[in-house]
Structure 1
């Protein structure tokens, strides 16, 4: 089952994710919209480093309860809020 999250507005742009759940487990998370699409070069560099880590941590934690990466707080807040909105649709 694939779930598209609500779009979450951050100071650097909108964040939206698609979560794939199979067998009751999060098997994949993809970025539908990232702040790097709206932001400047610095935002793109931060997102390019942080998003793969956040996605990996989500799969390990099987929830939106993951740790923020220093320097990527806005990305973290947008990502986790968006992720949680998708997971809420699965319930």
Structure 2
């Protein structure tokens, strides 16, 4: 099952994720929209890795990319919540 998160805007750009689940586990997180510069370029891969390890949006923000991190976590939580509604 695949769900899309909300498009979350900040002054650095918009973040939106798509989550593919295998059973109840997060298997893949794909960025549909992402800021194209700054610390976001290094923060987003870290956030993806942490979210897959944690199997949730309850992950730490990346220092120096707080707004992007918060946008990522909000979009991810929306995608996780959408999965529950589709079941």
> Same fold by TM (over 0.5)?
yes
Residue aligning to 1:61: 54
- Alignment pair present for 1:25 and 2:25: yes
How far apart in 1 are the matches of 2:12 and 2:40?
11
**Unpaired segments ≥5 residues, structure 1:** 37-43
Deviation at residue 9 of structure 1 after TM alignment: 1.5
Relative to its length, the structure with more helix (as a share) is: 1
**Alignment deviations for residues 19-66 of structure 1 (CA, whole Å, 9 cap, x no partner):** 011121001101100122xxxxxxx13112111110000001000000
CA RMSD in angstroms comes to 0.9
- TM-score by length of structure 1 reads 0.87
For these two proteins, the number of residue pairs brought into alignment is 84
Local SS of the residue matching 2:39 = helix
2:74 to 65, 78, 81: 81
2:39 to 32, 36, 46: 46
Deviation at residue 5 of structure 1 after TM alignment: 1.1
